[in-house]
Amino acid sequence: MQDPTLITQGFTPPLLLSNFRLAAFDMDSTLINIECIDEIADAAGRKAEVAAITEAAMRGEITDFKDSLRRRLALLKGVPMSALEGVLKERLQFNPGARALCAALKSAGIKLVLVSGGFTFFTRFVAAELGMDFVRSNELEFKDGVLTGGLVMQSWGEICDGEEKRRMLLQCCAEIGCRPEQAIAVGDGANDLPMMGAAGLSVAYHAKPKVREQAMVAINDGGLDRLLDLLN
C-alpha cells in the first residue's frame, strides 16, 4: 500500500538524482511557512480580505493570477516598509526540510531556482539563505517609505504568474544546457502548475487539492526533505 503522506504517480521510485540538473521552487507556503502578502496585509488590518483572495487563487478558483495580485496589492497601499521588515524578522520561517533538501541538491551539482509570485523583499533573503542560483519574483513599489499598491516593471515583465514561472524554468534549463525533463519543480498552488507541467519531476508540497492531483509526487506530511526518500 502506498504511503498516503508521500504519494507517487506515473513512475516507480527511486529515481536517480544524477538524472536531474535543475530544481525550481515556489517560495510562499513551499520553502517558507507563510504567504508573505497575507502577513503584510495583517499590518493594514486587511488580512482576512487579502487571505481569502490568496486562498482562492492558490486553489485555482481565481484563474487570473495577475488580476488577483493587483486586487490584493491595492489593499496594501500605504503600508510602511517597517511592516515588511517585521514580517521578515518575526514571522518568516523555513519549512521543515527546506535547508536539507536544497543542500543535498546543491551537493549533487543541481542548480537551484527560486521563482515566486511573491516579492523580492523576501526572495532576496530566502535565496541567499538557501544558495539559489537563479531568482525571479515581483518588485514592490515604494514611495516615501510606504507601499503604493503597485509593482515595479522589470526587464522580464511586471508580474511573475504561472506562465512566467514556466518561462523561467525553461530559460534556466536553456542557460545551463539541460532539457526540461532534467528539471524538478516544487510548489503548492495553482500558479505553480505550468512550471510543474514543464518539468521532468513535479512535486506538490502540502499543496492544494488541484495541485496534488496533477503532481507526480505529493508530500502530504513531513518536510521537504522527504523528496530525498525517492531519489538515489
Quick check: is 28 catalytic? yes
Predicted pLDDT of residue 161: 97
| Verdict on whether the full-model pTM lies above 0.85 | yes
User: Does the domain at residues 6-32+94-230 carry the CATH identifier 3.40.50.1000?
Assistant: yes
User: Would you put residue 109 in left (φ > 0), alpha (ψ -120 to 50) or beta?
Assistant: left
pLDDT band of 71, cuts 50, 70, 90:
very high
Paired sense of beta strands 183-187 and 22-25, if any: parallel
**Could you tell me which residues are beta bridge partners of residue 205?**
219
Cα–Cα distance for residue pair 216/150, rounded to 1 Å? 36
3-state helix vs strand vs coil in the chain, percent to 5: 45, 25, 30
Distance CA 169, CA 189 (A): 16
Domain ranges of the chain: 6-32+94-230
3-state class of 18 per DSSP? helix
- According to the model, what pLDDT value does residue 229 have? 93
What mean pLDDT do residues 74-93 have?
96
The percentage of residues in the chain with a pLDDT greater than 90, rounded to a whole number, is 92
Q: Exactly one of 3, 28, 161, 192 is catalytic; name it.
A: 28
Beta-bridge partner residues of 139 = 152
**CB atoms inside a 10 Å sphere around CB 12:** 7
CA trace torsion 36, 152, 69, 115 (10° rounding): -60
Q: Supply the pLDDT for residue 2.
A: 63
Catalytic residue among 26, 161, 188, 192: 26
